[in-house]
Structure 1
């Protein structure tokens, strides 16, 4: 019966993870106001066709499509080919643009489209904007007999840059102090000897929790998320990985959510005493939120940066987790044999 209960909890946790992921993807960066088809393949010296179908909600202004390029390291180098804007007319939803990839082979290893709508046709006044995924440019002689069009995913571009999350330093230090207290209490309980059945296994759990809480306190106090994130970002930029990070971020975020919920479900096992379950679940939640925040998927960042009592949601959740962990450790210290 206990084994069946554990399996049910794991399955339920995975289901919750899937639901959370679906809700997260609903706020993804896919542009919903248009559909795009592009030439396939793209060959040097040949025109590139962009077929754009606008949503009925876009009724006025000018639509424009440009072609930008990237070098062999997949670093963006700016505009490659620019088409004249076309006026959006009532009852007309499809627009075609012809853009040329120069025959030169010393640049433009990859190209991607930039599409936007503006009342004047200018970028600064844009009301909608999106980017297309990059496409590798083939050599001039590598051209199929029947080139065609294929649908690609347009990615919404914010009209105003998302402001960086403003963390509260007092909240960060309060979280670090509470986690340090939790680590001290957990370590103290883990060193107590008890003749009770299962006490040795429970002591090992307390010691591991002490390590997890101590690392959490160090992570918060040092601002590890910002420091390590900046270092990895510089490496990604230098090696041309940064613009292709989203798919990896999605997979890592999904994995973190699933693992966090599974570990939380395991804390509900009947052989767990209440104080250790409190600290265990709280440490799990703290590290889960910290990991999602560190991975920095755009959709997750937007949610975690939402202010709650003028404090980002990420910090509120971490502070609450640290507070519950400290309460659980204090309760365990009070119950420990002297």
Structure 2
């Protein structure tokens, strides 16, 4: 932009002359006829001025010029002035990729038309969260997400107990082979199991309208898999591993006494509570033997392949169920 003195050629419809007499008294003289002479007026608004559109012409034009004069120049009331119509020859349409070529001075012209606010003057407020309730449980942040659905932190509004809620949607369950059957089996098993080293199912809620199921469980701070991943060499100190393994064996001993075979023992399914108690979780592929079954022979294995014993890996139709959990535990160790 060419830096020029900001001038506006104006025609005064009614021109007022101000002059001082020899005695120093100020007199005002009005002229009856409008003065046709053109006079130069300096208008200052920071470094720019905005020419008022002519009332005489059919189209309105705006001319912007940068002023090299000090900003203390006097103002004239635009209502008293009629500006000549001046089409601006320097108006250019820019494509998006040409915007960067604009210099700072050109962009600063926005100061005239927009009220700019300094970022320090803005007070940022976090969006207020709406409290979501499911039954008597206050829902919190997402703790994790799996193929079945999300796991959210929750709190019992009656006793302020911290819990975890596994949210299952029927839409997702239908996509997973045996999804709905596995969840039904898991709920049935967890309802009858109660042991220090087995995750406790506190409540089950259904929402038919949203086609959702909520499994309310005791809260665990993390999993064994995460703890191992955080170790520099992906290994846990021996004494610590032995402590957790002892708890795992205690939990399995209880499960097997209830004729329950987990079939998917691995670090990812072993959770830890705040007091470092190990909890066996995820009974989606677990199986409970019939009360009158002669032995622990199983026919289905849906666990994680890396933790399965050779007989399942080799595709044997039947295998000893309890031994599966023992093998997986050994791999886990």
Class of the TM-score when normalised by the shorter of the 2 chains: under 0.3
Bigger RCO of structures 1 and 2 (CA < 8 A, at least 6 apart): 1
Question: How does the TM-score come out when normalised to structure 1?
Answer: 0.18
| Larger relative helix fraction | 1
Larger gyration radius, structure 1 or structure 2: 2
